[in-house]
Structure 1
Amino acid sequence: MLGGERGVKTNETKEQQQMEEHLEERQEERTETSPAEAEETSAQDPARQPEDDRLSELQRQAEENHSRFLRAQADFDNYRRRTQKEKEELAQYASLKLVDQLLPVLDNFERALQSGGEAAESHSFSKGVDMIFRQFYQVLENEGLKKIEAVGQPFDPELHQAIMQVESEEHESGTVVEVVQNGYWMKDKVLRPAMVKVSG
């Protein structure tokens, strides 16, 4: 009789243990989370904050580098335009030095014409020199040389070099009355100012 009761109790004990194990498994299943829930939980985890800060810092650096690139590109474009303009000006005024060296020759031609024209017997010589002078001056004009018209103009220190002040009834004070040596433009630059006499 006792053996039967002991067998029943043993069975009850096994069933109780099985029930308890089953309940523990169910409890573990409830406590487990899905991958999405785990990711959401980890996103809210303060331990991930340094990674977010690092990402923000990298984005800031990327924007700053992009701004620097745009500024460098703009500076390069400005440099390219400036050097192109300098190159064009250099080509435009390449003959400036040569023309400047030829101006004294032009002056001597004019003096020869003035002195030669005073003697009647030198008419043929004067005519020949005049032809050479005009041909020579035409070559210089083709290079961009142009005489500064000074007589009757107000004195301008940018265009004129005053060597004397004279009294004049025909001109107002500060007016160029005579050119001693011609001045010249080279395209849009003053190659040499004119030596002039100015009314006082």
Structure 2
Amino acid sequence: MSEHTGGSGPDAGPPDQPPTAAPAVPPGEAMAPEPPPGPEQQLAERTADLQRLQAEYENYRKRVHRDRLAVREIAVVNVLTRLLPALDALDAARALGELTGGLRAVAGLLESELGELGLQSFGEPGEPFDPSVHEAVGSVDAGADVEPFCVEVVRPGYRVGDHLLRPAEVVVARAERPFPG
């Protein structure tokens, strides 16, 4: 009995090695090894790699900077939105003449700091009515062929940059519509 059980014949190798494949290059034609790259070619390749890495790093830095600004803006919007009821209370106290002394100084400081964070108040009588930034809480007839405009601001609106925090609540003057009949 022989130790070889995997096959017989002249091409059969030892059982732990796969049979050898035929060479891909026809006999007589030997594959010539590539010549090693010259120093100029190596320098050009390394320079291209370095430029590619520098561009990737610069893009990464810009993306991180944009992401940080976006996170900051979201945080500012969230904080300012939560402070709007306090601003409404200060406006109500101011309208009643109760904003005096130290409270007036605190209100001025708060409004100044909120302005530094980008908070902008809007909504003035006479402004054209814009449903994207105004909320009509009432209306009055203003005559024929009148474009809707704000007659009274019930509660001011606020925005930070392009973010609308709250629409202005307004009474709108609109064109009279005659009753059909």
Q: TM > 0.5 between the two?
A: yes
Q: TM-score, normalised by structure 1?
A: 0.51
Q: Which runs of 5+ in 1 are unaligned?
A: 1-44, 56-70, 118-124
Partner of 1:88: 69
Which amino acid is the alignment partner of residue 83 of structure 2? L
Shift of the 161–129 alpha-carbon distance from structure 1 to 2, 3 Å rule, reads farther
User: How many angstroms apart in 2 are the aligned matches of 1:168 and 1:133?
Assistant: 36
Bigger Cα Rg: 1
Flag as ranges the 4+ runs of structure 1 deviating above 6 A: 71-77
Whether the aligned pair in 2 keeps the contact of 1:146 and 1:184 (CA below 8 Å) is yes
1:168 is displaced (CA, Å) by: 2.8
Structure 1 vs Structure 2 CA RMSD:
4.0
Alignment of 1:52-131 (within 5 A): 81-114=62-95, 116-117=96-97, 125-128=98-101, 131=104
Aligned residues: 139
User: How many angstroms apart in 1 are the aligned matches of 2:73 and 2:53?
Assistant: 30
Q: TM-score, normalised by structure 2?
A: 0.56
Higher helix share: 1
- Matched-pair identity in %: 31
Partner of 2:20: none
| CA deviation profile, 1:44-92 (whole Å, cap 9, x unmatched) | x9956x98xxx9xxxxxxxxxxxxxxx9998886565334312223234
Task: Identify the match of residue 134 of structure 1 among 82, 105, 108.
Answer: 108
Higher strand share: 2
Partner of 2:121: 147
SS at match of 2:92: helix
